[in-house]
């Protein structure tokens, strides 16, 4: 059995490796060992996370995706989650979350019988969808409260907005300009892949704007 652990935190201020020891211990309790880890700092609402995509590209039928909880894997809208679930199912992968007991049976090499296995799969599928929906709802509620706080601060003249780390963004520009990939740039710059993608989009927009101006001159 090949177990791939997926560890995610929302921002670089959070430690995405925090759960590593806990996942190692959890696997050991089920007489298993984690074969490899995929670690990243990105939003669970983002369907195109670099390390998650790499995991799915690497994975083979029968592999297990081990997560601390379903919200580490998904806080995505329903349509995005359903696409991810289909991709996981089509590849013959299984999801195990430490906080979802119905998923733990996937760490067993065999079930008692085919009927029990089918029942467990059906119950687990339903629970996965339910917990993904709860994770998305929690994400939306937190975003709503955050926006309400911003609106209140604006009304009181206290909101200054988020300041960009110009030094980090310049480093990202330099690394991208040198030909590094998004994942490698994020690692070297200690930034999230989403930040790197944002800077890359800015660079592309600037390049297109410059080409437009040159075309107008000529």
Residue 116 within a domain: yes
Whether 168 and 190 have beta carbons less than 8 Å apart is answered as yes
pTM over 0.85: no
Residue the block writes with tokens 């809208």: 77
In total, how many domains does the chain have? Answer: 2
Residue 146 within a domain: no
pLDDT for position 13? 47
Q: Write out the chain's pLDDT in tens, 218 residues.
A: 899 999 998 765 456 677 899 999 999 999 999 999 999 888 888 888 999 999 999 999 999 999 999 999 999 999 999 999 999 999 999 999 998 998 998 887 655 566 666 777 788 888 898 888 898 888 788 778 877 777 777 777 766 655 567 888 888 988 998 888 888 898 888 888 888 888 998 888 888 877 777 776 66
Query: Does 126 share its domain with 170?
Result: no
Residue 154 within a domain: no
Query: Does 133 share its domain with 178?
Result: no
Query: Does 67 share its domain with 172?
Result: no
Query: Does 27 share its domain with 79?
Result: yes
Q: Which domain holds residue 50?
A: 3-137
pLDDT for position 111? 54
Helix (H, G, I), strand (E, B) or coil at 71: helix
DSSP assignment of 137-205 equals HHHHHHHHHHHHHHHHHHHTT----PPP-HHHHHHHHHHHHTT--HHHHHHHHT--HHHHHHHHHHHHH
Query: Does 128 share its domain with 184?
Result: no
Residue 91 within a domain: yes
CATH code for position 114: 3.40.50.1390
Question: Which of 92, 120, 137 is the C-terminal boundary of a domain?
Answer: 137
> Distance (Å, rounded) from C-alpha 175 to C-alpha 156?
40
Question: Which of 87, 120, 137 is the C-terminal boundary of a domain?
Answer: 137
CA distances from residue 31 to 14, 75, 120, 138, 169 in whole angstroms, order as listed: 30, 30, 20, 33, 44
* Tokens at 39, concatenated: 């670690």
Query: Does 35 share its domain with 125?
Result: yes
pLDDT for position 26? 95
Query: Does 91 share its domain with 175?
Result: no
pLDDT for position 49? 92
Query: Does 102 share its domain with 29?
Result: yes
Phi-psi label, residue 3: left if phi above 0, alpha if psi -120 to 50, beta otherwise: beta
Catalytic residues: 10
């Amino acid at each position: 059995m090949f177990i791939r652990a997926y560890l995610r935190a929302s921002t670089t201020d959070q430690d995405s490796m925090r759960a590593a020891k806990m996942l190692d211990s959890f696997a050991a309790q089920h007489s298993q060992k984690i074969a490899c880890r995929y670690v990243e700092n990105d939003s669970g609402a983002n369907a195109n996370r670099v390390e998650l995509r790499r995991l799915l590209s690497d994975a083979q039928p029968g592999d297990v995706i081990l997560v601390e909880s379903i919200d580490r894997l998904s806080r995505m809208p329903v349509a995005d989650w359903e696409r991810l679930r289909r991709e996981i199912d089509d590849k013959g992968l299984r999801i195990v979350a430490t906080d979802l007991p119905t998923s733990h049976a996937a760490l067993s090499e065999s079930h008692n019988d085919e009927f029990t296995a089918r029942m467990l799969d059906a119950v687990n599928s339903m629970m996965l969808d339910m917990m993904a929906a709860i994770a998305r709802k929690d994400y939306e509620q937190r975003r709503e409260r955050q926006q309400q706080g911003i609106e209140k601060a604006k009304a009181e003249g206290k909101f200054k907005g988020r300041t960009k780390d110009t030094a980090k963004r310049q480093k990202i520009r330099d690394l991208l300009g040198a030909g590094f990939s998004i994942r490698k740039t994020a690692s070297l710059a200690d930034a999230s892949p989403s930040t790197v993608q944002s800077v890359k989009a800015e660079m592309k927009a600037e390049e297109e704007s410059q080409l437009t101006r040159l075309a107008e001159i000529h």
